[in-house]
Structure 1
Amino acid sequence: MASRFSARLRTLALPLLAVGLIAGCTPPEPAFKSTDITGAEYGKRFALTDHTGKARTLADFKGKVVTIFFGYTQCPDVCPTALSSMSSVMQALGPDADRVQVIFVTVDPERDTQELLAEYVPVFDARFLGMYGSPEKIAEIAKDFRVFYRKSGDLAGHYTIDHTAGTYVFGPDGRLRLYVKHAEDPQVITADIKALLAGK
């Protein structure tokens, strides 16, 4: 009788043990919804001039989360959409928005002057910075970030620019952490930035 009871207990225990093992092997929930690229070495040579005329490097923003998007002021849809999205993120962050720096890097240095960037970028949020440099410098930095861009159409002046549309996010420690795809939900970006600000 005792052996039958023991056998029955073993029969009941095995499925429970299997469930426990499966639960124990379940990977933890990722810390971020955006693509985690921690360890990538992009942006080491980042040095441009902002729309106020001040020379900038990423070291100037140590202690803040920094987002970098490459675009141009005459972009018909992708660029204003990205900047509008980040404006929504800043509003959602509330007081924490002061610990975030949004940077817009032009890939159209021939047309995007300091004055034009100063008119365009702060429309989305007064804290945003537009950055520019020589065509050679922009090409160098875009290559460093693996950003593609190319003029299309009438190259005499009425052209558009095809370009990579994602956003790079650096943590408060200055390390590159995330790549955010274009048209990502602002709530997702807000949650990821809050996680970075919390030290993840």
Structure 2
Amino acid sequence: MPFWGRVGVVAAAGTAAGAAWWYLREEKERRRRARRQEELRTLALGQGDFQLVDHTGRARRKSDFLGRWVLLYFGFTHCPDVCPEELEKLGRVVELLEQEDVRKGTQKGTLPPIQPLFITVDPERDSVEALARYLRDFHPRLLGLTGSAEAVRAAGKAYRVYAQAGPPDASGEYLVDHSIILYLLGPDGLLLDYYGRAKSEEHIARSVRHHMDTYQPLPMPTQGQKK
């Protein structure tokens, strides 16, 4: 075979190999997402509703946020460092997503809106007024939610949030040990992903955008399947 003929064969083989590699990578990613969705569906986190009050005094249910993307964090206003850091990160994630949309020239109002939410795990101290004062330092669209001890516990239980108040000091102040996780809810109100403290704001923003770009409603168990 002439030299250039051999070069053509090698080039064609390389193109085919590249296409096969790309297909296998995409298929692997598709299967990974399918497994992840199945795991989240089986865990059944975040299903049901909650009945709380926001930091303006308005009654809120989880169903109020259907049709929106939600980034949700559980914490408390007396938290000395972790909660402020995570809420700053949450606000920065929202800003990164908005900046990306501006760079792409996306028209305002055409993107799925994202709502940052903060639910207290310390309703005894985190009144509506306390939340309103606290949230002034964070993203302007961050919405704080509180309520009765029973209502707050029910909201946390739906996401398997751990929260345990520590012993009070001489002045009566105490800390609350709690889960440190950001939850991503899709427009159908179901959990799509979650992010631990080690995840950077850039990583979370990329992940949220990927979920937005590939979103399909999470399938729920049919009758007779494990819930």
TM-score (norm 2): 0.70
Structure 2: 5+ residue runs without aligned partners? Answer: 1-13, 102-110, 216-227
Q: Which residue of 1 aligns with 2:211?
A: 196
| Deviates most, 94-103 or 42-51 | 94-103
Q: Which whole-Å CA distance do the structure 2 matches of 1:190 and 1:184 have between them?
A: 10
Instruction: Report the structure number with the largest CA radius of gyration.
Output: 1
Aligned-residue RMSD, C-alpha: 2.7
Q: From the superposition, tell whether residues 183 and 82 of structure 1 become closer, same or farther in structure 2 (CA, over 3 Å).
A: farther
Q: Which residue of 2 aligns with 1:5?
A: none
Q: Which residue of 1 aligns with 2:107?
A: none
Aligned with 1:120 (options 134, 137, 141): 134
TM-score (norm 1): 0.79
Q: Does 1:81 align with 2:85?
A: yes
Task: Give a deviation string over 1:115-134, Cα, whole Å, max 9, x none.
Answer: 11011124211100010011
Q: Which whole-Å CA distance do the structure 2 matches of 1:193 and 1:116 have between them?
A: 30
Q: CA deviation at 1:25?
A: 5.9
Q: Which residue of 2 aligns with 1:180?
A: 195
Identity of aligned residues (%): 36
Quick check: which one's strand share is greater?
Answer: 1
Give the residue type in structure 2 aligned to 1:99: P
Q: Which whole-Å CA distance do the structure 1 matches of 2:119 and 2:28 have between them?
A: 35
Question: Are 1:122 and 1:128, in contact at CA under 8 Å, matched by a contact in 2?
Answer: no
Q: CA deviation at 1:98?
A: 7.4
Q: From the superposition, tell whether residues 56 and 108 of structure 1 become closer, same or farther in structure 2 (CA, over 3 Å).
A: same
Question: Are 2:49 and 2:63, in contact at CA under 8 Å, matched by a contact in 1?
Answer: no
Give the residue type in structure 1 aligned to 2:86: A
Q: Which whole-Å CA distance do the structure 1 matches of 2:136 and 2:203 have between them?
A: 23
Partner of 1:180, secondary structure, is: strand
Q: Which residue of 2 aligns with 1:11?
A: none
Partner of 2:28, secondary structure, is: coil
Question: Are 2:128 and 2:146, in contact at CA under 8 Å, matched by a contact in 1?
Answer: yes
How many residues in Structure 1 have an aligned counterpart in Structure 2?
180
Q: Which residue of 1 aligns with 2:71?
A: 67
Give the residue type in structure 2 aligned to 1:93: L
Q: Which residue of 1 aligns with 2:53?
A: 49
Higher relative CO (Cα under 8 Å, sequence separation at least 6) belongs to 1
Q: Which residue of 1 aligns with 2:183?
A: 168
Q: Does 1:151 align with 2:165?
A: yes
Q: Which whole-Å CA distance do the structure 1 matches of 2:69 and 2:40 have between them?
A: 14
